[in-house]
Structure 1
Amino acid sequence: MNYKTRKATLNDLPTLLRFEQGVIKAERPFDPTIKEGAIAYYDISELISSNESEVYIVEINHEIVASGYAKIKTDRHYLKHTHIGYLGFMFVDENHRGVGVNKLIIDTLLIWCQERNIFEIRLDVYDDNLPAIKAYEKVGFKKHMINMRLNIENSDLN
């Protein structure tokens, strides 16, 4: 198949908003802290418009089938690097999964970061989201740190 990547524009917003809901739907089973009802993760318009981020899409036959963004973020002062490229909004339409579209979008985002002299790349993924972990490991990501949580709302700590 002839997949093509390009920068997203504000004209792509309706499709990207639908993709965002697909990300949220996929992640809800992994995260009991996500609010019920309609929510949004991203300010997609800002990600498209900002000089510090870029949203890319993958198209085939003028149909958008995948998305992702890279955002330059200042990192902690004690690390070797001053900035990271943070990847997010990784979504591939169900009908196009398993054929390398995720790698295509990630490679495009990595090039964008590299062109800006950003070489430390990070992303977040739920520990139980094994298909996503496998996809990220396939393109070279390695597990680095685990974020742990504890809800003590109904605990008797006294």
Structure 2
Amino acid sequence: MIVREATEQDLTILLEFEQGIVSAEKPFNSTFIDGEIHYYDLLTLIQSEDSTILIAEENNEIVASGYSKIKKTENSYSNFDTYAYLGFMYVKPEHRGKGINKLILDELINWSKDKDISEIRLEVYDQNEPAVKAYKKAGFESLILTMRLKT
């Protein structure tokens, strides 16, 4: 297994991964529109100094992805000015259960630490129990729960 930074040549498969994430998350979010949804500006994430997309390759096949992006704190009361935001965590279904997500997660955390970032955050649907469990196992803890009411 090789973990490396994504390049512009990887965009086609990364766009497929994005739709895989959207498909997996649609059952958790009744507010999604019909049709194709794009969460990320993948090209900008690849090109920016303040972000990285990592991919895992097995036998020259891209099988997983994740990104880290440095963001500025939006409030004046936190004890940190910037943090790393993780996202785009995807593993092809036939490669799940092999620890690949953890491998990418560890590398993204290391990338963030190398940028002198001490606060790392991510978002996950609370109903996505396997993902919540994996992130807790990696040391993440719940911080806030967003709630909604449709009237």
TM tier, shorter chain? over 0.9
Q: 1:134 maps to which residue? A: 133
1:69 equivalenced with 2:42 (yes/no): no
Whole-Å separation in 2 of the counterparts to 1:78 and 1:142? 20
Which residue identity does 1:112 align to in structure 2? W
Higher CA-based Rg: 1
* Residue in 1 that maps onto 2:78: 79
Q: Find the counterpart in structure 2 of residue 105 from structure 1.
A: 104
2: distance between equivalents of 1:77 and 1:65? 40
Aligned counterpart for 2:13 among listed residues 12, 15, 40: 15
TM-score by length of 1: 0.93
Q: CA deviation at 1:39?
A: 1.5
Q: Deviation at 1:27?
A: 0.2
Structure 1 spans left out of the alignment, 5+ residues: 153-158
| RMSD of aligned Cα (Å) | 0.7
Aligned position for 2:150? 151
> What is the aligned length?
150
Where does structure 1 differ by over 4 angstroms across 4 or more consecutive aligned residues? Answer: none
Residue 32 (structure 2) aligns with? 34
CA deviations over 1:54-105 (Å, ceiling 9, x no partner): 0000001110000000000011221011111000000011111111101100
Q: Which ranges in structure 2 are unaligned for 5 or more consecutive residues?
A: none
CA shift, 1:144, in A, is: 1.3
Cα distance in 2 for residues equivalent to 1:63 and 1:119: 32
| TM-score, with structure 2 as normaliser | 0.97
Counterpart of 1:44 (choices 31, 42, 45) is 42
In the aligned structure 2, how far is the partner of 1:117 from the partner of 1:150?
39
SS of aligned partner of 2:97: coil
Aligned to 2:53: 55
Tell me, in whole angstroms, the C-alpha distance in 2 between the residues paired with 1:50 and 1:77: 25
Deviation, 1:138, is: 1.6
Identity %: 51
